[in-house]
Structure 1
Amino acid sequence: MMEKPPYRRVAVFGAGYIGLVTGACLADLGHRVVIRDIDPEKIKLLQAGEVPIYEPGLSDLIGRNKERLSFTLDLAEAVTGAEIAYVCVDTPPSASGDADLSRVWSVVTSLKDAAHLRAVVVKSTVPVGTGSRVRAALDAAGLGHVGYAANPEFTAEGRAVSDFMHPDRIVIGTSDEATARLLTELHESVDGPVVVMSVRSAEMVKLAANALLATKISFINEIATLCEKTGADVEEVAHAVGLDHRLGPHFLRPGIGWGGSCFPKDSEALRQLANNTGYHLQLLSAVIEVNNLQKRRAIQKLKDELGTLAGARVALLGLTFKPGTDDMRESPSTVLASRLLAEGAEVHCWDPMARPAAAEPWTSTTRHTSVEQALEGADAAVIVTEWPQLAQVDWTQAVATMRRPVLFDGRNLLDPVAMRAAGYHYLSVGRP
């Protein structure tokens, strides 16, 4: 691929989901990119052409841009000649509930001698007001001439490459016109509108957007519970509600609860931000509570059917928080597995991509390479993740291998009539 002038030299700090996607996509746009991380094993894999995470299209993107994209542990190698430094490191919750910005500050501090930079850009999700502190730190380090911007990401795992290249919007938060122009040019070939605003507004946009999406999911899950109690069908309700142009159909799918790297963390971060200002976000607190209860309601449904979970064999089908990724951060499966084990159940699992940590609850579960193996001898099964492979299972044949054919479809993936005809005691979310 020919380079598209004017190309820039970019240093990306952090080789996680956001850093790798950002770096690879910028390289695909024609820019020269060096991605730096402090994890030797991760960098070794990347230098060998192996991608340590699963994200559709990412491996191919990295492979075809290897002449413009490199990986390093060395700070000097990353910043030498760089015009723009992207901060894409994790900001996990701290003990107080606030975002842990230690990795952000580690990167910012390491740039104190990079006077040649034109801009420092934070893509990590940070509390509102972080940019002002970073700006002050850059000024104190003699980098007052270096621009600063917040450029939050809105990519969804499983389609992150597409979301970067064809975004709904590119948010650039800066008070510096030159930095705004620089980043606008950087994204010139990206198919999406650029929205320039203040740094604080840009920091708030990411938190507010994810909190609103989480709200829609928790809302439809509450409606699903009410549908179960009244005999209504939540899928019929959600379809009709979604046809209202003011509301739209997106994120109105009931299920076992939301998880992942963004919704739980960002919702809690926004709630903590409000608490720190002395304001209590009542609606958001309810959204989080509904989601927490949704996972536990699944356990109660199994107890209602089986009488007791002690000694029962339960198959969890899907472990990642969504299909199309290997990410298990804040996945409902972790809560389900923990609660099932605590109730005395024997837990068997299947997932095509998940890589559970070598820690509880996963060290006390049994992994299987096929759905059929996980179902064999089970008293109950729970569809946790709507992997497309589950729709291809020969459920008519599998029912004969189960000890008790109780199936809770936590994602409403399968047809209730067909599953009951096949002999399952079929349960779902919000469907009569």
Structure 2
Amino acid sequence: MDISIVGTGYVGLPAGAGLASKGNHNVTCVDIDEEKVEKINNGECPIYEEDLPELLEKMVEDGKLSATTNTSDAVHNSEITFLAVGTPMQEDGSINLDYIKQAAEDIGEGLRDKEEYHVVVVKSTVVPGTTENEVIPRIEEKSGKKAGEDFGVCMNPEFLREGTALNDFLNPDRIVIGELDEKSGSKIEEMYSAFDVPKIRTSLQAAELIKYASNSLLATKISFINEIGNLCKELNIDVYEVADGVGLDHRINRDFLDSGAGFGGSCFPKDVRALASFMEEKNLDPKILNDTIQVNEEQKTKLVEQLQDHYPDLSGKTIAVLGLAFKPGTDDIRQSPAIDIISELKYLGAEVKAYDPKAIENMKQKHPEIQYTSNYEEALKDADAALIVTDWKEFNQISREDLQEMNKALILEGRRMEYKIDKENRKGVTWP
């Protein structure tokens, strides 16, 4: 099938490369950023995601993937169009629909003179009712056509983890297809025929809510284990032993029970807040969701609180912050605990040296004035303490020799590491 994807971010690009590589599909990616489009057409990946640069380059070389800034042309020359633009969080926690509204209108323009049947698929994360109340009316107005008759509409939520987004797309647990009508859903199910996983067909609103419910439940699981971890810290118990024991219960499962410095990224914080805001609009009280957010916000700076146990006055102290991305495998810093940690360290008068293998340039936009280093060894040199915020595998190589270069051999871990360092030199945020 010929497929167009509007949006080339952490959802659209892995989906585009994945579809081009799996099944007999040709994919056109659409973005308003001319520099991004040029990079993609040259086989260069404009974002970092594990294995994505290599696959993208191959798909471009094979002629199965290209990019353009012209939405109308891309829609006109394809059978299916995915809407994968961002829905960023606003100050009140609700989602900003400006990008998706504009994209819907652009898609409508592309459908205006098209006679062949076409399916528009919303892949952006939107609250229940958005596809029906915001997307469809705009497409209908601009195209002069009727949804469910002249063109199809589906909602196909993504369940991708940044850092492993490509692998998650190629090997999903399930595929959810929310459909306006049966013909639309059957077309998208056919498109996914090469994926041997359960395919669930639902209403549009159910599909929209499945995405929010999934992410909010996972976020709640993390906040819960962090609360248990804070108790474990007081009791001198290893929270990972507790999580291992709890996770063996098949009803609970061990995944997302790694206690640490809190969750970040473009999905969990935004989605939990958006669902809570949506519930409040419906006059419902989202107690659990609000508590999940509150626990996570407090967890982000626990490392700094524990650092003050060693240095009550941080003025003039040099602190190394290792890991800036919200998780390994990506350069995304959105809602990363490192942002809050660096802000708190600066407020308390500390000098910050920071290192991350992929996310330095992005963090410079948030904290341009701190010192960035080209490797973790340089960050550790002459530091009074180090905070590990992102568990990049290379940090497991930190050795006793590296600690000898520090003013004080002290590492506080926001993520559990596997290096061979004496217990007295390393402390966990929620474990001894």
| Structure-2-length-normalised TM-score | 0.94
- What's the counterpart of residue 430 of structure 2? 430
**1:225 Cα deviation from its structure 2 partner:** 0.5
**1:122 Cα deviation from its structure 2 partner:** 0.5
Instruction: Give the whole-Å Cα distance in 1 for the aligned partners of 2:353 and 2:8.
Output: 32
Instruction: Give the whole-Å Cα distance in 2 for the aligned partners of 1:166 and 1:108.
Output: 29
Matches within 5 A, 1:126-137: 126-133=126-133, 134-137=135-138
- 2:137 maps to a residue whose letter is A
Q: 2:20 aligns with which of 27, 41, 44?
A: 27
What number of residue pairs does the alignment pair up?
Answer: 420
**1:360 Cα deviation from its structure 2 partner:** 6.0
Instruction: Give the whole-Å Cα distance in 2 for the aligned partners of 1:194 and 1:279.
Output: 31
**1:361 Cα deviation from its structure 2 partner:** 4.5
- What's the counterpart of residue 410 of structure 1? 414
Contact 1:238 1:249 in 2 (8 A): yes
SS in 1 for 2:153: strand
- 2:304 maps to a residue whose letter is I
Contact 1:167 1:191 in 2 (8 A): no
- 2:145 maps to a residue whose letter is L
Q: Deviations over 1:64-98 (max 9, x none)?
A: 22212110112233123211111000000124321
Instruction: Give the whole-Å Cα distance in 1 for the aligned partners of 2:366 and 2:350.
Output: 12
SS in 2 for 1:254: coil
Instruction: Give the whole-Å Cα distance in 2 for the aligned partners of 1:296 and 1:333.
Output: 9
Matches within 5 A, 1:116-265: 116=114, 117-133=117-133, 134-140=135-141, 141-144=143-146, 145-265=150-270
- Answering whether residue 26 of structure 2 is matched by residue 37 of structure 1, we say no
- What's the counterpart of residue 72 of structure 1? 68
Instruction: Give the whole-Å Cα distance in 1 for the aligned partners of 2:363 and 2:211.
Output: 32
- What's the counterpart of residue 51 of structure 1? 45
Contact 1:46 1:71 in 2 (8 A): yes
Q: 1:305 aligns with which of 301, 305, 310?
A: 310
Q: 1:263 to 1:291 in 2, by over 3 A?
A: same
Q: 2:10 aligns with which of 8, 17, 22?
A: 17
Contact 1:317 1:351 in 2 (8 A): yes
Contact 1:379 1:402 in 2 (8 A): yes
Instruction: Give the whole-Å Cα distance in 2 for the aligned partners of 1:222 and 1:210.
Output: 19
Contact 2:360 2:372 in 1 (8 A): no
CA RMSD of aligned residues (A): 1.5
**1:236 Cα deviation from its structure 2 partner:** 0.9
Q: 2:86 aligns with which of 81, 85, 90?
A: 90
SS in 1 for 2:11: helix
**1:322 Cα deviation from its structure 2 partner:** 0.6
Contact 2:315 2:350 in 1 (8 A): yes
- What's the counterpart of residue 390 of structure 1? 395
Instruction: Give the whole-Å Cα distance in 2 for the aligned partners of 1:361 and 1:129.
Output: 34
Q: Deviations over 1:157-189 (max 9, x none)?
A: 122112111111100001311111100010110
Worse overlay, 38-47 or 283-292 = 38-47
- 2:359 maps to a residue whose letter is A
Instruction: Give the whole-Å Cα distance in 2 for the aligned partners of 1:234 and 1:159.
Output: 26
Worse overlay, 56-65 or 255-264 = 56-65
- 1:410 maps to a residue whose letter is G
Q: Which runs of structure 1 show a deviation greater than 4 angstroms over 4 or more consecutive aligned residues?
A: 358-361
Matches within 5 A, 1:329-340: 329-340=334-345
Q: 1:314 to 1:397 in 2, by over 3 A?
A: same
**1:242 Cα deviation from its structure 2 partner:** 0.4
- What's the counterpart of residue 57 of structure 2? 63
Instruction: Give the whole-Å Cα distance in 1 for the aligned partners of 2:177 and 2:54.
Output: 28
SS in 2 for 1:190: coil
Instruction: Give the whole-Å Cα distance in 2 for the aligned partners of 1:136 and 1:398.
Output: 60
**1:355 Cα deviation from its structure 2 partner:** 3.5
- What's the counterpart of residue 4 of structure 1? none
Q: Deviations over 1:31-55 (max 9, x none)?
A: 1111110011111211222111111
Contact 2:177 2:200 in 1 (8 A): yes
**1:278 Cα deviation from its structure 2 partner:** 1.1
- 1:59 maps to a residue whose letter is P
Gaps of 5+ in 2: none
- 1:374 maps to a residue whose letter is A
Q: 1:267 to 1:356 in 2, by over 3 A?
A: farther
